Amino acid sequence: MDRTIETNKDPSPVTQVLAGCKNEIIALFEDAFVRGALESLGFDPQDDSGFFLDDTARIAALHYVPRNRDIVRTRKRTAGVEEHRFVTEGGASLVQEFYITEVRGSSSQQSRWVPYLDDVQIILFLAPLVFWQSLNEDPTVNRVQDSLELWREIVGNQLLAKTAFILLFNKKDVLQKHIGAGVRVNRYVPSYGDRPNDVVSVTKCM
């Protein structure tokens, strides 16, 4: 169930401008020529901003308040190495501290964050199912291929012999949209071969 926060604050100038341009934003996002032009420049409307643009009529309202689903779907690109500290709730004897070190995921950045692997107990590895995308820092490298190479390197690192690994695939919703639109996996990942072009098969292959 979504929870919303009631607010009586007056809309900010930015919100007022956004609300005033709501119809224009919707028209631009739905225009086939605009979508094609963005995609030709490497910008994927469905992936980069698609969730919010699909819901412009609700979000561009003067008194819009984010729902839980909006917050979960909001993403901030990781730059470098970031550390986060969490404390579990409970009685005094049950309080535990967790430290999460978030690192930028491409293999080209590995040398910068390897020193942070010392004394790590669990590695949570996020692998995006975006076979049609390339790395921002190197457009010639496919993101899925980069994830696979990085995964192999980390799992084979002797410093992590006693570390637990959790592998998570994300952006499945974006994958479903692209598969549904008829995008062929083997066009971007030749090694995929003649496997079925559906979400289940792609995920299983990964």
When mean pLDDT is compared across 16-25, 28-37, 39-48, 127-136, the lowest value belongs to 39-48
> Is the full-model pTM beyond 0.75?
no
- Residue 192, phi then psi, degrees to nearest 5: -65, -25
Across the range 153-180, mean pLDDT stands at 88
Question: Hey, what's the torsion of the CAs at 20, 24, 25, 28, to 10 degrees?
Answer: -170
**Looking at residue 172, what DSSP letter applies?**
H
Query: 29-77, pLDDT tens digit by residue?
Result: 888 888 788 777 666 665 555 567 778 888 888 888 888 888 877 777 7
Q: Give the chain's domains with CATH numbers.
A: 13-73 (no CATH), 81-205 (3.40.50.300)
Query: 83-119, pLDDT tens digit by residue?
Result: 888 888 766 667 788 888 887 666 666 666 667 777 8
**What is the residue-averaged pLDDT of the chain?**
81
Output the known binding site for GTP: 170-173
Closest by alpha carbon to 1, among 69, 62, 92?
Answer: 69
Across the range 6-20, mean pLDDT stands at 79
Give the Cα separation of 152 and 150 in Å (integer): 5
Better-scored residue on pLDDT, 1 or 119:
119
Examine the pLDDT at 137 and tell me if it is beyond 80.
no
Confidence of residue 1 (pLDDT cuts 50, 70, 90): very low
User: For residues 160 and 117, is the Cβ–Cβ distance under 8 A?
Assistant: yes
Identify the pLDDT of residue 178. Answer: 86
Kind and range of the H or E run holding 100 = strand 97-103
Examine the pLDDT at 5 and tell me if it is beyond 50.
no
Output the known binding site: 78, 170-173
Alpha helices (H) in the chain, listed in sequence order:
13-20, 22-30, 32-40, 50-53, 56-59, 68-73, 110-113, 143-155, 172-180, 185-188, 199-205
Identify the pLDDT of residue 198. Answer: 94
Better-scored residue on pLDDT, 65 or 135:
65
**Which sign, positive or negative, has the C-alpha torsion 118, 122, 128, 129?**
positive
Tokens of 62: 């003067």
Output the known binding site for Mg(2+): 78
Across the range 148-162, mean pLDDT stands at 86
Confidence of residue 196 (pLDDT cuts 50, 70, 90): very high
CA 63: distance to chain centroid? Answer: 27
